[in-house]
Amino acid sequence: MTKARIKDMFETLNHSDDKAFIAYIMAGDGGLDQLPKQIKTLEDAGVDLIEIGIPFSDPAADGPVIQEAGIRALEQDTSLKDILHKLKEIKHDIHVPYVLMTYYNPVFHYGLERFAIDSAEANVSGVIVPDVPLEEEDELKHALKNTEIAIIRLATLTTTDDRLEKIAEDAEGFIYAVTVNGITGSKSGYSQEVFDNLKRIKSKSRVPVCAGFGIASAEAAAALGASCDGVIVGSKIVSYFHNNESEKIKALIPRKTAQHAK
């Protein structure tokens, strides 16, 4: 069960009083044939869950590093269909849960029902679709209802308490807490407002809460992780892979990774 894999991962970490480290990569950056190697590298570094980005021509929430990675992937003719096919091929070799980070356009053009079937067959545990607000989630939710794929919702610094309660009401997998008012990318520090907001989301959520956007060091990951259940690191990891510096990824994880190596 794919939803269960996310739940089991968080429960295992909770038992050891640890926080989830979620790594983002752009599928097809460097060629789709690199995806198995990239996933293996992340597992060996000790990540707990992998967020696999789907390249899209108009990525409204992505900063320059991830935008450029998406362009490189598109130049390699990487498609959602190709990514799901590759994941089907290698799913038995992947030992951590993985979710897709995509925009709605590729999913819509793929076909919602076909997307649901192929994602389930590829062992996808969840989907993050930042341009689908809560009010427009019904079609996607309907398509995924017979799968074990979680729709992972986002909450931001400007999300009101009333709206947050609606987001949290039947949230699945985990809530993605956005730590900046803007796009992805490295950030030098966080205000008290960010930590207060993570605690606010935690107080209303029945599923784990993970912080993402702008996390570029183990120190930042540890600081934010103290107020939630895990952190998501993207731009830094994408840069490391692009610059052939993947050996640096382990140093981003704020714990003794040798004890958690997969």
Check if 136 is active-site: no
For 2, residues 6+ apart whose C-beta sits below 8 A from its C-beta are 97, 120, 123, 124, 125, 126, 147, 148, 149, 150
Identify the active-site residue in 43, 62, 172, 229.
62
Closest listed residue to residue 207, CA positions, set 25, 15, 4: 4
Check if 121 is active-site: no
User: CA–CA separation, 217 vs 222, rounded Å?
Assistant: 9
User: CA–CA separation, 129 vs 102, rounded Å?
Assistant: 5
Identify the active-site residue in 18, 48, 51, 172.
51
**How many other C-beta atoms lie within 10 A of the C-beta of residue 157?**
16
Q: How far is CA 218 from CA 60, 200, 221, 254, 262, in A?
A: 27, 23, 5, 5, 19
Kindly list the catalytic residues: 51, 62
